[in-house]
């Protein structure tokens, strides 16, 4: 059997397998990079796309956000801006008209744990004016004292005056009599009220009541001023 020629350092004729170390390292790095790329591509292919959120349809009590592109800021209740729905400009029932009464809604005073939150109902439309309670004088009251009035309206006959004043609840506050003093350029009206002595020991709540008494003059007013004798 013929032997291979001897190589330097190997007298028996064997030649070692010489593979450069750098080539082996490069091959190993290439295989690792290829495996990582395949794994990343496989994960991306199996991961489902996130569904795009769908805004909920407007319902009863739906709230509009101004920044939302589909918001209908004029909606009220159900239906949004669909024609014919509640709160729209179609054939449905329109929202309440008129401005809410002033001072209504939620009011927050203070901050932190010491804050106080109060609320008042908002009623659409103008604030109704108080209607006075029509009274007539009842002489004989106790603790009679003069009471100022808030307005005096002269009727077309120039001899009748409707006088309005704030008072309390009967029997604690009862109109006793009305005095009228006639002057050349003014007419002085003074209201007197007291408490009913026949009511006994009663407790009246402190509630203001708008009252009105009709005063019939003995003379025409004839352009004279009306003066409050209790002012």
Across the range 70-86, mean pLDDT stands at 39
- pLDDT value of position 66: 41
Q: How many residues does the chain have?
A: 231
């002085």: which residue's tokens? 188
pTM equals 0.48
CA distance 2 to 208: 135
Give the pLDDT of residue 144: 98
* pLDDT for the residue numbered 130: 85
C-alpha distances in Å from residue 221, one per residue of 69, 155, 158, 160: 67, 10, 6, 9
pLDDT at 193 over 60: yes
pLDDT of residue 41: 62
Asked if residue 165 lies in contact with residue 146, where contact means CB atoms within 8 angstroms, the answer is no
Mean confidence (pLDDT) of the chain: 73
pLDDT at 64: 41
Give CA–CA dist 190/220, Å, rounded: 18
Give the best-scoring range by mean pLDDT among 49-63, 116-130, 139-153, 198-212.
139-153
Q: What is the mean pLDDT of residues 144-161?
A: 97
Give the residue from 221, 163, 226, 224 showing the smallest Cα distance to 192: 163
Tens of pLDDT, residue by residue over 91-145, are 444 444 445 555 666 777 777 777 677 777 776 767 778 899 999 999 999 999 9
Res. 5: pLDDT tops 60:
no
CA distance 1 to 48: 68
Asked which of 33-37, 145-149, 167-171, 184-188 is least confident by mean pLDDT, the reply is 33-37
**pLDDT at residue 162, rounded to an integer:** 98
* pLDDT average, residue stretch 190-208: 94
Q: How big is the chain by its Cα radius of gyration, in Å?
A: 48
Mean pLDDT (whole number) for 8-27: 58
């Amino acid at each position: 059997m013929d032997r291979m020629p001897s190589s330097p350092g190997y007298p028996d004729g064997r030649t070692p397998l010489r593979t450069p170390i750098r080539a082996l390292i490069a091959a190993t790095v290439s295989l690792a990079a290829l495996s990582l790329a395949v794994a990343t591509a496989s994960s991306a292919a199996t991961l489902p796309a996130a569904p795009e959120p769908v805004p909920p349809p407007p319902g009863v009590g739906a709230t509009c956000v101004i920044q939302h592109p589909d918001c209908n800021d004029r909606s009220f209740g159900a239906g949004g801006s669909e024609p014919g729905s509640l709160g729209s400009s179609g054939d449905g029932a329109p929202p309440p008209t008129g401005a809410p009464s002033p001072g209504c809604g939620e009011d927050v005073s203070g901050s932190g744990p010491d804050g106080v939150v109060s609320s008042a109902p908002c009623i659409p439309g103008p604030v109704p004016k108080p209607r006075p309670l029509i009274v007539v004088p009842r002489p004989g009251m106790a603790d009679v004292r003069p009471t100022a009035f808030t307005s005096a309206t002269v009727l077309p006959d120039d001899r009748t005056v409707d006088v309005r004043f704030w008072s309390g609840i009967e029997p604690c506050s009862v109109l006793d009599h009305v005095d009228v003093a006639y002057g050349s350029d003014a007419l002085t009206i003074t209201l007197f009220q007291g408490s009913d002595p026949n009511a006994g020991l009663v407790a009246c709540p402190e509630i203001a009541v708008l009252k009105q008494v009709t005063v019939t003059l003995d003379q025409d007013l004839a352009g004279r001023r009306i003066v409050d004798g209790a002012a």
